[in-house]
Amino acid sequence: MKKEQLNQTNKGITLIALVITIIVLLILASVSIATLTGDNGILTKAQTAKERNDAAEKEETQKLIQAEANMNFEETEYNGVTIPAGMAPTRKEGESTIAEGLVAVDKNGNEWVWIEVPKSEMPSDLTFTNEMGYSEADQKNCEDITTALKEYAKSYTEGKKGQGYNWIDEWYLDIGTSDNHNVVTEKTATSEQKKLDTGCGLTLNEYKETYQKMIKSVYKNGGFWIGRYEAGIEGTTGTDEESLKLGRISSSAKIDISTSPKAISQKDAIPYNYVTCSEAQKLANEMTPDSSRTSSLLFGIQWDLVCKFLEVRGGVPQADINADSKNWGNYANVDLDITSNNAKGYSSKDKTWNKISGKKLSHDNNGADTLLSTGASETTKRLNIYDLAGNEYEWTLEHATADTDYPRSGRGGSFYNDRSAIPSSYRSYFYATTANDYYSFRPALY
């Protein structure tokens, strides 16, 4: 009897011990899970440490490339491309060849992508009396090259497919008032007006010299460089309060190049908007890393050639460029995955810049349109060029003569637009004195 009672007691003790053991294990498990996960968990801390380490490595690599660029006092050759003085190729995987989208960094930390223009598409064996500068004797050769380039990129010279004009890009002035604009071209300008720059930021003679220099450089080198990103405001690549405060430039104040922040072509920058066309040109002109090269807004033909480059080298379908850029642009009615850790977003609802992560929602889901910092999403990248579709309209240098009232000088669409209405190649119409939150620019270098 006593033995039987002892067995029952042992069984009871064993069961209690088992329950206690399970409870202890559960407690330990919950403690372990809490230790591993959560905001202060080991896994979270490890992930944060990894991200910081990766960011530090990228920053260190960038500094090394920038230092190399600073020591390059002469042009160099790299994978068949002439690298200007003051620049160095990144040599990173996926950025080292023309077919991938060759990227170079200049001594100021700005990033540029090489746009190939096949020499086989241009007239052969042309000689120039002045290889890089302006010459009336070279004008016919430059016109012949331009004609060939327009034929090569004709799928995009009309803007959006079916936009319906045989556009002719040319110099212009906007000499009216905010209520009564008056667009003047070379044919209608007086001799005094030709000395003004209140259109694209260049006088007529400056425009001719700059255009001819660009054409000669394209012919000699087989291409040109463009900013990897839309122009950003210097000092805004972080997510600190100071960076966010710099993200807004008053549209009521004229840009003073001597005191305003510089324009940069760098990831995570807040786009340099609220600039007129002439202000954008002055900012772009300052971005050259070497005095022997010129940086400026893109000419119309250069925008078309960028589109053609994406088609030929990047395999981007024509329809994605000149019909509906929904697959790669930040438009009002597009959800977009945010991939950059320092991405920022500007809401059309509250008109402020804030850190953004996860997904940028369309205005249908969010009730607002969202402008993004440069390179915020890998979805917007083609051949290492970011945001050529959507996000911001981008100023180009010229007026398109098919429309006598409005200069057709903006390209690429904006975060306010429907994705199918304004594809990457679209020609928008705004006066040269327009300055708002959906107009920025991108530099070219040649």
pLDDT digits (tens, 9 = 90+) for 378-405: 999 999 999 999 999 999 999 887 655 6
pLDDT of residue 166 exceeding 50, the answer is yes
pLDDT of residue 6: 45
Mean pLDDT, the chain, integer = 88
pLDDT of residue 251: 45
pLDDT tens readout for residues 188-225: 999 999 999 999 999 999 999 999 999 999 999 999 99
pLDDT of residue 256 exceeding 80, the answer is no
Q: Mean pLDDT lowest for which of 228-237, 253-262, 312-321?
A: 253-262
**Token pair 């290889």 is at which residue?**
131
Domain residue ranges of the chain, discontinuous segments joined by +: 42-107, 121-445
H or E segment at 371?
Answer: strand 370-372
pLDDT of residue 141 exceeding 90, the answer is yes
Phi, psi of 353 (to 5 degrees): -100, 135
Contacts of 64 (CB under 8 A, 6+ apart): none
Closest-CA residue to 297 (of 422, 407, 155, 384): 407
Give the best-scoring range by mean pLDDT among 157-171, 251-265, 339-353: 339-353
CA of 92: how far to CAs of 88, 102, 103, 208, in Å?
12, 9, 9, 37
Closest-CA residue to 157 (of 296, 326, 318): 318
pTM for this prediction: 0.86
Contact 105, 65 (CB under 8 A): yes
Q: What per-residue string of b and e applies to 12-30 under the rule 16 or more CB within 10 Å gives b?
A: eeeeeeeeeeeeeeeeeee
pLDDT of residue 407: 78
CA–CA dist 405, 37 (Å, integer)? 61
Q: Which is more confidently placed, 247 or 74?
A: 74
Q: Pairing state of beta strands 439-441 and 393-395?
A: parallel
pLDDT of residue 406: 73
Please give the DSSP secondary-structure letter assigned to residue 245. H
CA of 385: how far to CAs of 103, 158, 191, 251, 405, in Å?
9, 22, 40, 28, 32
CA–CA dist 314, 327 (Å, integer)? 14
Torsion sign, CA atoms 370, 371, 377, 382 = positive
Contact 183, 170 (CB under 8 A): no
Q: Mean pLDDT lowest for which of 62-66, 149-153, 156-160?
A: 62-66
Q: Which is more confidently placed, 241 or 83?
A: 83
Q: Report the percentage of the chain scoring pLDDT > 70.
A: 87
Contacts of 268 (CB under 8 A, 6+ apart): 236, 237, 238, 340, 342, 343, 344, 373, 374, 375, 376
* Helix (H), strand (E) counts: the chain: 10, 25
CA of 52: how far to CAs of 49, 101, 242, 342, 424, in Å?
5, 27, 21, 12, 35
pLDDT of residue 44: 59
Q: Which is more confidently placed, 14 or 334?
A: 334
Q: Mean pLDDT lowest for which of 12-26, 231-245, 376-390?
A: 12-26
Q: Mean pLDDT lowest for which of 8-22, 147-161, 184-198, 279-293?
A: 8-22
String of DSSP letters for 178-194: SSS--EEETTT--TTGG
